[in-house]
C-alpha cells in the first residue's frame, strides 16, 4: 500500500481538490493524508489569538470569513444539492464548535482543538466528493490512532496497532483518507505534530503500515540542487539518500518537513516528492541509495545568530562544553552548528527568543560575542568518504567571501559555512558555478 500526502495548496480550492481526486483514483488501494485547505490553519491561529485576548468580535469576523470561503468552495465542488447541503451542515457544525470557545476560559487545550478543525474539514469534504463521484472511500480518524507521548514524540507502537484497527473498521475501500498534522497526546487530549506536520503524519502512517512508498505531493517539481530564488538554472534532483534529504530539509528546503525523513529512513520506505501541477514529472526519489562521491545540493538558512564564547578556562578543561550546552538547554534553544578551538567555542542558533538571557548566563565563563543576521550555507552530498578535493573546490569557490565558521565531518554528507547575509547570493552562485 502507498501513502500519498497532499498539502494545503493542493487541496486549497474545489478545483484543486478535483485534481487530487483524479490523481488518486487509479484503481489501487491507498492512504491519502490531507492538510487543511491553504490559509485555514493560519486563520485558526488568528481566531485562537483573538480568543486569548477575549476579543470575540475579532474571532467572529475571522470565523465568518472562513465560513463564507468554505460555502463558496462547496458550491463549486459538488454537483448535487443534497451533497452541498450536507457539506454546509458539516462546515456549520465545525464552526459552531469553534464559536463555543468564545464563552468559556481559553487555554492551550482549546487552541489545539481549534487548530484541528482545518484537517477535519478538508478530509470530510474530500470524502464527500469521492462518494458523490461513486468512488469507494473511507475516513480514518487520525484522532483515533495518531498519538504523541509525554515528550511530544510519536508513539509508534500505539499508532501501528490502532491504525490497523481503524483500517479493519473502515472495511474495504480504494481510498482511505486521513488527517495530517492532528493527533492526541499522552493524556488523550487533542494535540498536533507542529506546524507543517502533515508530512510527518504521512511518514508515520507509512511506517505504521509498512507502506511500499510515501509520496509527498506539493506544487514544486521536487527538491532542487540550489535555491531557485537566488540562482539561475537550478534543477530538480532525481535521487537523494535519506541522509542527504535530512540535511536539506533542515536547511530551508521548504518542500519537505525535516521530521518526515526519520520514520521513512528507519523503516527503509522510499519517499517520492511529486508535483500536482505536473504529475507525470519524475520528481525526487529519497531512498537508502547514496550516490558515491557526488555533490548533490546547496542550501542556505537565514536569520542565524552566532554566539562566540572565549575563555581561558576552556584550555585543558573537561566539562566546559557541557556547561555551555546546558545553558542553551535550559532555555530550550537548539544549537545548530558548533566550531571549537582550544580557547573558545562558536555556536549558532536560529531561535533567538532567549538570546539575551543565554548571553547573560554565558558571561560567567568568559567573553561573549554575538553576531546576528548570519547565514549558514550548506553543501550536501557524499563529501567525507574516500573522495578527495571536495573541500578544495568549495573553498576555492568561496575565496572572495569572508567566512565566520566552518563545519566539516559532522556527518559524511554535509559541509557548512557561516557567512554574513549580504554575501549569501554571491556564495550560492559561486558555489553553483564551481560544484555543478
Q: Is 88 left (phi over 0), alpha (psi -120 to 50) or beta?
A: alpha
Round to whole Å and give the CA distance between 207 and 214: 9
Determine which residue in the list 53, 165, 195, 363 makes contact with ligand ASP, applying CB under 6 A: 195
Cα–Cα distances (Å) from 87 to 13, 83, 84, 92, 340, in that order, read 14, 6, 5, 9, 59
Based on CB atoms, which residue is closest to ligand ASP, 263 or 366? 263
CB of 276 to ligand ASP, least distance (A): 14
CB of 40 to ligand ASP, least distance (A): 7
CB atoms within 10 A of CB 14: 17
Determine which residue in the list 10, 178, 198, 226 makes contact with ligand ASP, applying CB under 6 A: 198
CB of 238 to ligand ASP, least distance (A): 25
Based on CB atoms, which residue is closest to Mg ion, 196 or 222? 196
CB of 86 to ligand ASP, least distance (A): 23
Q: Where are the beta strands (DSSP E) in 225-360?
A: 239-241, 271-275, 284-287, 295-310, 337-340, 344-349
| Helix axes 40-52 and 108-115, enclosed angle (nearest 10) | 160
Q: How far is CA 210 from the centre of its chain?
A: 21
Determine which residue in the list 9, 10, 35, 296 makes contact with ligand ASP, applying CB under 6 A: 35
In the list ligand ASP, Mg ion, none, the entry touching 154 (Cβ below 5 to 8 angstroms by class) is: none
Residue 180 touches Mg ion, criterion: CB under 5 A: no
Residue 36 touches ligand ASP, criterion: CB under 6 A: yes
Residue 118 touches Mg ion, criterion: CB under 5 A: no
Pick the stretch among 34-42, 341-349, 358-366, 374-382 that binds ligand ASP (CB under 6 A): 34-42
Round to whole Å and give the CA distance between 227 and 121: 34
C-alpha cell belonging to residue 268? 527503509
* Site map 97..126 versus ligand ASP, x via CB under 6 A: ---------------------x--------
Q: Do 345 and 378 touch, CB atoms closer than 8 A?
A: no
In the list Mg ion, ligand ASP, none, the entry touching 41 (Cβ below 5 to 8 angstroms by class) is: ligand ASP
3-class secondary structure, 337: strand
Selection from 241, 244, 149 nearest residue 204 by Cα: 149
Pick the stretch among 18-26, 35-43, 336-344, 411-419 that binds ligand ASP (CB under 6 A): 35-43
- Phi then psi dihedrals of residue 52, to 5 deg: -60, -35
CB atoms within 10 A of CB 420: 17
Q: Do 148 and 193 touch, CB atoms closer than 8 A?
A: yes
In the list Mg ion, ligand ASP, none, the entry touching 36 (Cβ below 5 to 8 angstroms by class) is: ligand ASP
Residue 181 touches ligand ASP, criterion: CB under 6 A: yes
Counting Cβ atoms within 10 Å, is residue 8 exposed (0-12), middle (13-18) or buried (19+)?
A: buried
Q: What is the DSSP string of 342-405?
A: SSEEEEEES--TTHHHHHHHHTTTSEEEEEEEEEEEEEEES-SSS--SHHHHHHHHTTTS---E
Residue 197 touches Mg ion, criterion: CB under 5 A: no
Residue 366 touches ligand ASP, criterion: CB under 6 A: no
Pick the stretch among 10-18, 33-41, 312-320, 336-344 that binds ligand ASP (CB under 6 A): 33-41
Determine which residue in the list 154, 180, 196, 381 makes contact with Mg ion, applying CB under 5 A: 196
DSSP structure class, residue 173: -
Residue 154 touches ligand ASP, criterion: CB under 6 A: no
Based on CB atoms, which residue is closest to ligand ASP, 255 or 380? 255
CB atoms within 10 A of CB 249: 22
Pick the stretch among 13-21, 111-119, 130-138, 188-196 that binds Mg ion (CB under 5 A): 188-196
Residue 197 touches ligand ASP, criterion: CB under 6 A: yes
Based on CB atoms, which residue is closest to ligand ASP, 159 or 428? 159
In the list ligand ASP, Mg ion, none, the entry touching 195 (Cβ below 5 to 8 angstroms by class) is: ligand ASP
Residue 41 touches ligand ASP, criterion: CB under 6 A: yes
CB of 65 to ligand ASP, least distance (A): 17
CB atoms within 10 A of CB 19: 16
Residues 6+ apart with CB under 8 A from 198: 5, 7, 33, 34, 35, 119, 180, 181, 257
Residues of this chain that bind ligand ASP (CB under 6 A): 7-8, 35-36, 41, 118, 180-181, 195-198
Which residues here bind Mg ion, judged by CB under 5 A? 7, 196
Amino acid at each position: 500500500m502507498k501513502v500519498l500526502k497532499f498539502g494545503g495548496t493542493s487541496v486549497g480550492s474545489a478545483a484543486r481538490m478535483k485534481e487530487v481526486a483524479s490523481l488518486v483514483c487509479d484503481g489501487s488501494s491507498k492512504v491519502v493524508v490531507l492538510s487543511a485547505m491553504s490559509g485555514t490553519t493560519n486563520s485558526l491561529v488568528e481566531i485562537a489569538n483573538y480568543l486569548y485576548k477575549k476579543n470575540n468580535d475579532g474571532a467572529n469576523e475571522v470565523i465568518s470569513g472562513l465560513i463564507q470561503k468554505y460555502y463558496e468552495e462547496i458550491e463549486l465542488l459538488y454537483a448535487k444539492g443534497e451533497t452541498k447541503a450536507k457539506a454546509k451542515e458539516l462546515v456549520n457544525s465545525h464552526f459552531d464548535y469553534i464559536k463555543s470557545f468564545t464563552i468559556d476560559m481559553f487555554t492551550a487545550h482549546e487552541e489545539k482543538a481549534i487548530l484541528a478543525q482545518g484537517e477535519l474539514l478538508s478530509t470530510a469534504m474530500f470524502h464527500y466528493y469521492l462518494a458523490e463521484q461513486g468512488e469507494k472511500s473511507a475516513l480514518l480518524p487520525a484522532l483515533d490512532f495518531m498519538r504523541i507521548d509525554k515528550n511530544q514524540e510519536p508513539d509508534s507502537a500505539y499508532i501501528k496497532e490502532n491504525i490497523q484497527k481503524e483500517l479493519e473498521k473502515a472495511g474495504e475501500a480504494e481510498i482511505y483518507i486521513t488527517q495530517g498534522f492532528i493527533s492526541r497526546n499522552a493524556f488523550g487530549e487533542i494535540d498536533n505534530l507542529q506546524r507543517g506536520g502533515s508530512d510527518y503524519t504521512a511518514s508515520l502512517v507509512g511506517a505504521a503500515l509498512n507502506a511500499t512508498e510515501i509520496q509527498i505531493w506539493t506544487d514544486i517539481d521536487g527538491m532542487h540542487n540550489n535555491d531557485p530564488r537566488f540562482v539561475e538554472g537550478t534543477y530538480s534532483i532525481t535521487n537523494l539518500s535519506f541522509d542527504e534529504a535530512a540535511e536539506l530539509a533542515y536547511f530551508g528546503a521548504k518542500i519537505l518537513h525535516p521530521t518526515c525523513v526519520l520514520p521513512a529512513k528507519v523503516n527503509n520506505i522510499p519517499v517520492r516528492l511529486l508535483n500536482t501541477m505536473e504529475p507525470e514529472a519524475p520528481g525526487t526519489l529519497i531512498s537508502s541509495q547514496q550516490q558515491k562521491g557526488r555533490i548533490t545540493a546547496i542550501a542556505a538558512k537565514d536569520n542565524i545568530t552566532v554566539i562566540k564564547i572565549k575563555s581561558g578556562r576552556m584550555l585543558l578543561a573537561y566539562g566546559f562544553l557541557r556547561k555551555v550546552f546546558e545553558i542553551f538547554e535550559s532555555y530550550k534553544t537548539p544549537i545548530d552548528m558548533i566550531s571549537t578551538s582550544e580557547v573558545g567555542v562558536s555556536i549558532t542558533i536560529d531561535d533567538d527568543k532567549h538570546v539575551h538571557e543565554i548571553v547573560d548566563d554565558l558571561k560567567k565563563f568568559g567573553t561573549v560575542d554575538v553576531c546576528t543576521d548570519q547565514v549558514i550555507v550548506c553543501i550536501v552530498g557524499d563529501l567525507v568518504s574516500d573522495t578527495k578535493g571536495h573541500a578544495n573546490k568549495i573553498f576555492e569557490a568561496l575565496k572572495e567571501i569572508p567566512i565566520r565558521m566552518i563545519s566539516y565531518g559532522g556527518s559524511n554528507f554535509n559541509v557548512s559555512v557561516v557567512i554574513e547575509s549580504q554575501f549569501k547570493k554571491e556564495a550560492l552562485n559561486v558555489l553553483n558555478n564551481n560544484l555543478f
